[in-house]
A and B are shown apart, each in its own frame.
Chain A
Amino acid sequence: MSFYITYVLVSIGLFAFSALFALFAVYGERKVSAFIQDRLGPTETGKFGLLQTLADILKLLQKEMIIPTAADKILFMMAPAIIFIAVYMGFAALPWAPGLIPSKINLGLYYIFAIISIETLGILMAGWGSNNKYSILGAMRSAAQIISYEIPAGFALISVVMIAQTLNLQDIAIQQGTLSAEKIKFLGFWDITKIGGILSWNIFRAPHLIIAFVIYFIASLAESNRAPFDIPEAESELVSGFHTEFTGLRFGLVFLAEYSMMFLVSMVGVILFLGAWNTPLPNIGAIHLADWTTSKVWGIFWIATKTLTLVGIQMWIRWTIPRLRVDQLMNLCWKVLTPLAFVCMLVSGIWRIWLM
């Protein structure tokens, strides 16, 4: 029976982590936006305003949970839970360090791709349940956007899978460092299985994966409804889109889901393209930097650092680039990203057969 206790502990731990991350990411986002717009951001609560989001959460928890009279009550109440659970379930298959993964399934990547798509349904549920024209417009926009951007994202992922030859995220991670069982070649010609480091990451094993990574990153911004793809909650047009009517804890859940989604998509990107939990430091001659910095603790450190860097870039982009119009959004997806992703997939096949 003891492994059931482990399961429960792991899932509680992941939940605590995503909540804690959301707490500090909101603070981080406010500080980043303040820096970019030459303001100060939160300063009053706690040292440097560190307790600001904690105070905000306390306030949210105490607020009344209002259900609009015209709303479909069941759908309205279930929507935030479904949105959050969909994202939270995705965390189950993500590897954190060598030998440290909540669920080692051989369909890991496919599972995450599937489970994320449930979020769309939750958003549509929220939009319809609110019975409010802004909410439903936001929900429709969000669904259209997520469905469209799943295609370039999916093909970018497939081009990695073709190089890695597995859907198991832990195996994909192992292949990108000194622990790899198979031979790693930098750019297809230089054998660096013993050297490792940044040179053995997927984007350097096959350079066209840099393009695939950019495609995936753009698409992941759209899938987590972040600016410049935030037309689902465009404040200037739709109040705040599908979560206009939510108050208190339910609003908190929607927010938690958004930040967890940012972390999730960044972490998937890191695992597939940027070496997962492998160190960026290579072995140079007698100085075995890569071997010294590969262990469970280092693994968690590296993957957290890389993922938080990507999350930081997401925030930076949000406060720098203006929002895209609907038609520009669809043009970018179908006329630029999708053909490019197809080309990447084709190159992956050729690369795997002739250069690896």
Chain B
Amino acid sequence: MSLAQVLFYVMAFVVVGSALFVASTKNLVRSIFMFFITLFALAGLYVLALADFIAITQIVIYVGGILVLILFAFMLSGKETLNVLQQQKSKFISLSKLPAILLAVLFFVVMVNVITKIDAGNIGWIKQAISTNTEIKPNEEMINNIGINLMTRYLLPFEAISILLMMALVGAAHLSRKERGAV
């Protein structure tokens, strides 16, 4: 096995193991910190797949942003609420878990379907890119390509997302401001 393969298996193992721990542990804080390990190892997998920009973005957004916000919300909530959450009955199958189980099973079916249907050796658009000599090699500058594509080919989705984020910002500002007249 080459070094890249060893690294892939190590990181895949870390991702799956820590994700299982996140889902199964009763200690909420530890599960959040374990989630950090999952996300970080996932970033490592992205690097192995030559998607270094996505790997770094993963760290900026998930680790630096979302995870810290989750922790913030967690630490600001009272201890009583958290105790109720932590002392749930540990029956494996119960009605309250039905939506989660349904979602997980459906997602599993989709994933199995994708893995069996896909023919990773010869995917259409990759073959087409190779035949027209427009494929991007790993040693080329990838961010320039991403930037140009974002500003030309994918401009409309890009702008739509920015408007969505803008709406979220305005909404947050509206929710958190003081009422008129209130001191």
Contacts and interface: CB of A to CB of B under 8 A. Distances in A.
Interface of A: 72, 74-75, 105-107, 110-111, 113-115, 117-118, 120-121, 124-125, 128, 136, 140, 143-144, 147, 150, 167
Contact of B64 (A111, A150, A167): A150
A144 B73 CA distance: 12
B52 A128 contact: no
Interface of B: 29-30, 33, 36, 52-53, 56-57, 59-60, 63-65, 67-68, 71-72, 75-76, 141-143
A113 B67 contact: no
Contact of B59 (A114, A124, A147, A167): A114
A74 B76 CA distance: 22
Q: Binding site of B, secondary structure by majority: helix, strand, loop or mixed?
A: helix
Most chain A beta-carbon contacts within 10 A, residue among B57, B63, B64, B75: B64
The 6 closest A-B pairs by CB, nearest first: A117-B64, A114-B59, A114-B60, A114-B56, A124-B71, A110-B56
A117 B60 contact: yes
Given A114-B56, A117-B60, A106 B33 contact: no
A147 B64 CA distance: 8
Nearest to B67: A121
Contacts of A125: 33
Given A107-B52, A124-B68, A140-B75, A118 B30 contact: no
B59 A115 contact: yes
A255 B67 CA distance: 25
Contact of B141 (A106, A124, A136): A106
A117 B63 contact: yes
A107 B60 contact: no
Given A114-B56, A128-B75, A107 B143 contact: yes
Given A121-B36, A140-B72, A114 B30 contact: no
B68 A120 contact: yes
Nearest to B63: A118
Contacts of B68: 117, 120-121, 124, 143, 147
A150 B65 CA distance: 11
A110 B53 CA distance: 9
Contacts of B76: 140
Contacts of A114: 56-57, 59-60, 63-64
